[in-house]
Amino acid sequence: MRSRLGQRAVVIGAGIGGLSAAGALAPYFENIVVLDRDELPSVATARAGTPQDRHAHTLLGGGLQALEELFPGIMKDLADAGAVSVNVFRDLQYERPVVGVLPRRDCGVSLLTASRPLIEGVLRQRTASIENVTLRTQCRATEIVPDAMGPSVKFVEPANGAAAITADLVIDASGRGVLTLALLDALGWERPPETVVGVDIGYTTVRLPQPAATGSDWKLLYTMPDPPAGVRGGLLTPIEDGYWLATLAAYGAAEHPQTWDDFLATCRQLPTQSIYEAIRDLQPVDGLKHFVFDDSRWRHFEQLAKLPHGVLPVGDSLCRFNPVYGQGMSVAALQAKLLRDTLERVATTRDPIGALQMQFMAEVAALLQAPWGLGVNADFAFPGTRGQRPERYEEGRQFEAALFRAAVADPVVQTAFSDVVQLIKPIDLLQDPDIQRRIEACAEGAT
C-alpha cells in the first residue's frame, strides 16, 4: 500500500498531459478529479478542445515506454484499437537533404502512429477505469484560487452553473497554462520568463484510403524540408482502419493548399517525389484540414523561486514543442512518469506537496532540454524563424550534419541517434567517446 499524500487532486484538462498525470497521481490521493471543458467522445472523433487532433500524431518510443509504465498493457490496448507500430528505421523512410534516405536498419525501437483521437480515447478509457479517478466533462475551469489549506478550482458546467472544488494538489494540464499564469497575477507574483521560438508552421492534412498494395516496403514516410529555401516537408502516416494521413507542413506562413489538386501540386514541390508518387492516384475521404502553429514556448516555471502551494503546470502548459518533431505527447507522458517517481520519493516528507512541486520543477528542465534543443536548433535553419538562436548554434548545426553523415555509414551511430530522438536515452549519449570517435572517423573519411 502506497502512502497517501492527500485527499484529492484535481487535474484541469483531459488531454494526453492531464490523463497521464491522473494515472501517475492515482496511487497517492484518495480521489482524482479530471475536469475538461469538452464533452469527451466515447468513440475516437475530433473535438473542439484539441484542434490539433485532425493532424498526424506519432508517439515516440520513449513516450510509449512511459505510458506503458504508468498504464501497464496500454501498448497492447493501442495495438488492439488499430494503432500501427513502426520500427525505427526499418519501417521508416526518412528522407533528409544532403544525406538522402537514412538506411532502413532495425535500430531496436518502435514508435506508434494512430489518429490523435484514438490515442487519447484509449488513454482516456484506461484512466477512467481507475477506481479513484473521476472524469468530469463539460466542466470549464475558470480560476485557481489559492488557500492555506490547499487550492480550489472554480469551474462552470452548462447544466449546474458555477461551482468550486477544493484539492490538495491542482495539476494545470489545460494546454496554455492560462489559469496558473492568472493565479500568479492575482497573487502579485512574477510570471515565469519564457523562451519563444516563432516558426509559423502551417499544417495541411488529408485522410486517404491506404492502397492494398503500396509497392513500397515502408510504413511511415517523412520527407524533410530543405532549408533555407525549401520550407515545405511532408509526412505520410498510417493510422487505424487502413487509412493514411498525408500532411504537408510549411515554415514561415507559406500558403496552404486549398484543394486536393493544390495539395498534389504542392507535394510535387517537396525535395523528393515519394509522397506524390504514393498518393497521386488516391482520393481523399474527407476535406483538407488546416492548422497554424505559431511558436514553440517554454514557460520557465522551473525558474520561479516558488509556485503557489499545491499548483503544478504540466504538458503543453509548461512547454509546447514544434509539432513537426512529434514530441509533445511523449514529453507529456515522460513528465507524468517523473511526477509518479517524485511522488514516490516525497510521500513520507513533512510537506509532501511542497516537496513534490520543488523536486518536480528541479528535474523537469533536464527532461525538456533535449527535445527542446533538438527541435529549436533545426528550426533556426529556416530564415523566418523568430527568437534567440541557441548558444553555439553554428557548432550545433555542424555537429548535426556530421552526425547524419555518420548515421548513414555506421549502424552504431544510427542506433544512438534513434535512441536520442525517440527519447529513450539521454542526449549525452551523442557525446559518448565511442560515438564521437565514430562520427569523427566518418568526417575524416569524407575529406
Q: Write 373-381 long-range contacts (CB < 8 A, 24+).
A: 373/427, 374/325, 374/420, 374/421, 374/427, 375/296, 375/321, 375/322, 375/324, 375/325, 375/327, 376/197, 376/296, 376/322, 378/325, 379/197, 379/199, 379/251, 379/296, 379/322, 380/197, 381/227, 381/228
Q: At its nearest, how many Å lie between ligand FAD and the CB of residue 203? A: 5
Q: What is the dihedral of CA 416, 314, 126, 154, to 10 degrees?
A: -170
16 close to 119: Cβ distance less than 8 angstroms: yes
Q: With respect to ligand FAD, which residue has the nearer C-beta, 233 or 323? A: 323
Interface positions with ligand FAD (CB under 6 A): 12-18, 35-38, 49-50, 52, 55-58, 140-141, 173-175, 203, 291, 293, 315-317, 320, 323, 326-330, 332
Q: Please list the residues that pair with 195 across neighbouring strands.
A: 298
Q: At its nearest, how many Å lie between ligand FAD and the CB of residue 86? A: 12
53 close to 47: Cβ distance less than 8 angstroms: yes
Q: With respect to ligand FAD, which residue has the nearer C-beta, 57 or 405? A: 57
Q: At its nearest, how many Å lie between ligand FAD and the CB of residue 335? A: 9
* DSSP string covering 341-405: HHHHHHTTSSSHHHHHHHHHHHHHHHHHHHHHHHHHHHHTTSTT-BSPPPTTHHHHHHHHHHHHH
Q: At its nearest, how many Å lie between ligand FAD and the CB of residue 120? A: 8
Strand residues in 188-231 grouped as ranges (E): 194-209, 220-223
Q: With respect to ligand FAD, which residue has the nearer C-beta, 100 or 287? A: 287
Q: With respect to ligand FAD, which residue has the nearer C-beta, 24 or 439? A: 24
Q: With respect to ligand FAD, which residue has the nearer C-beta, 35 or 420? A: 35
Q: At its nearest, how many Å lie between ligand FAD and the CB of residue 66? A: 12
Distance CA 116, CA 16 (A): 9
Q: At its nearest, how many Å lie between ligand FAD and the CB of residue 205? A: 8
Q: At its nearest, how many Å lie between ligand FAD and the CB of residue 411? A: 26
Q: With respect to ligand FAD, which residue has the nearer C-beta, 36 or 226? A: 36
Q: At its nearest, how many Å lie between ligand FAD and the CB of residue 20? A: 8
Q: With respect to ligand FAD, which residue has the nearer C-beta, 320 or 425? A: 320
Q: With respect to ligand FAD, which residue has the nearer C-beta, 144 or 430? A: 144
101 vs 298, 387, 432, 440, CA distance in Å?
Answer: 32, 31, 25, 21
Q: Are strands 311-313 and 169-172 parallel, antiparallel or unpaired?
A: parallel
* DSSP string covering 46-87: --TT-GGGGS-EEE-HHHHHHHHHHSTTHHHHHHHHT-EEEE
Q: At its nearest, how many Å lie between ligand FAD and the CB of residue 212? A: 26
Q: With respect to ligand FAD, which residue has the nearer C-beta, 210 or 247? A: 247
